[in-house]
Structure 1
Amino acid sequence: MLDLLAPVLATEQGERLTRPAYKQDFREREEAIRDGSSWKLERRQHFEEQGSPSRDALRRGDWDEALRLLADRRDTLAAAVQEETRRGYAFHRVRVVEKPLTPYVQWELHSQRQRAQYGQRIRVVPAERVAASESTHPLPELVVLGSHTLFQVLYTETGVANGAIRYTDRDLVTRWENYIKALYAVGEDVISYFDREVARLDPPTLSAGRE
């Protein structure tokens, strides 16, 4: 387990945003960052992502098509990394993983391995390493943008995006940024994790039409 405990996050300290408001605010704040970094913590083991043809294929149980569609976005990923490099911007992801892998996480690790091949910074942390911070509830889904803004991304029980809570208190943002950085420091590069734990897995099996 990681000795460092996660900071307290009180929802009353933040401002609730609808999904459209969150997406717009996130985009504007991220695009304004120059020579800075951001940190994302992914904890849930299942999401119902919208607007991803590959994700839709997974939902249908068409694994080969899901992977083919991921391969089709290589030019887009390369262009995005080039733009981030031009701005001096670094986006880091920490993916907490439970075993056995859910179908969603198995698919996502394929996606993240591909992102890492194009230079994105992604590391995997086993759920056991954050257990000390989850005695009452799982860690939240978080993004820290440019050391100034913390978003707690919200989801329904079924994993559908449902807006966010925005926090701008500097001390709070710094504490969470430092916590995610500590997780990143002890995490494993997603490519080596994928090669050892994911590459040889059979396609995921969906039960009753659901992951």
Structure 2
Amino acid sequence: MRDFGAGRGRWLAPNAYRRDFRERRGAIRNGNSWKLERRQHFEEAGSPSRDALRRGNWAEALRLFEAERPAVRAAAVEEDRRGSAFHRLRVVEEPLTPYMQWELHWLALRAECGHRVRVLSATSVEQSEAGGLLPELTLLDDRTLYRVLYDTPGATLGAIRYTDPATVAPWTAYLRQAYASAEDVQTYFARAVKPLPPPPPA
């Protein structure tokens, strides 16, 4: 599951990717979308909670998550109103990196608010990674596929957008199947994340 075809995608720089993504997602009515995250560490800009994790202020990182609960719940209600379900699939390696411990707190909160989030163990996708790790993907309305690219530390470089069915359809089938077999993030969180002590700065 690593085939994107030859010369079929369009490169988008970070700002162009974010703009294209917002416009296409905002236009979806009664359609499914999917996000696959594989990397175990990202560098995110513009997130006060992420900054708190870098400083080692775990209590502040979680407090900032909690402050966003009303907005997160409102976003889930809006998705349901438009019939635009967004399914997030997170591949997890253990032991968890500090970033993953932080992100799973965020994903569990999102699930509590009505968003669709599931977890896949890294061992369960080994057969799909014979040629390398799975890519970071976002699929909108089963029609537009973004392969999101990152540098080595985990900062966004942009994305390649694919719209031809020959490329999009196999990944649509893969993501649907993987999501169906994945564990709900809330059960995973209660078992494997909630009991952990605060992570070190990262």
Q: Which residue of 1 aligns with 2:92?
A: 97
Normalised TM-score (structure 2): 0.97
- What is the alpha-carbon distance in structure 2 between the residues aligned to residue 136 and residue 34 of structure 1? 36
The Cα offsets for residues 34-53 of structure 1, whole Å up to 9 and x where unpaired, read as 00110110000000011111
Normalised TM-score (structure 1): 0.93
Cα deviation, residue 8, structure 1: 1.3
The Cα offsets for residues 47-76 of structure 1, whole Å up to 9 and x where unpaired, read as 001111101101111111000000000110
- What is the alpha-carbon distance in structure 2 between the residues aligned to residue 7 and residue 147 of structure 1? 17
- What is the alpha-carbon distance in structure 1 between the residues aligned to residue 147 and residue 106 of structure 2? 22
Contact 2:5–2:167 (CA under 8 A) maintained in structure 1: no
Q: How does 1:1-211 map to 2 (within 5 A)?
A: 6-10=1-5, 12-206=7-201, 211=202
Amino acid at match of 1:24: R
Q: Which residue of 2 aligns with 1:3?
A: none
Cα deviation, residue 7, structure 1: 4.6
- What is the alpha-carbon distance in structure 1 between the residues aligned to residue 32 and residue 39 of structure 2? 23
The Cα offsets for residues 183-203 of structure 1, whole Å up to 9 and x where unpaired, read as 111100000000000000011
The runs of 4+ residues in structure 1 deviating greater than 6 Å are none
The Cα offsets for residues 161-191 of structure 1, whole Å up to 9 and x where unpaired, read as 1110000111211110110111111100000
CA RMSD of aligned residues (A): 1.0
Amino acid at match of 1:151: Y
Q: Which secondary structure does the structure 1 equivalent of 2:7 belong to?
A: helix
Closer/same/farther in 2, CA of residues 195 and 11 from structure 1, 3 Å limit: farther
Return 5+ residue gaps in structure 1 as ranges.
1-5
Contact 2:2–2:134 (CA under 8 A) maintained in structure 1: no
Contact 1:7–1:175 (CA under 8 A) maintained in structure 2: no
Cα deviation, residue 11, structure 1: 6.3
The Cα offsets for residues 63-104 of structure 1, whole Å up to 9 and x where unpaired, read as 110000000001101111111111111000110000110001
Aligned length: 202
Return 5+ residue gaps in structure 2 as ranges.
none
Identity of aligned residues (%): 55
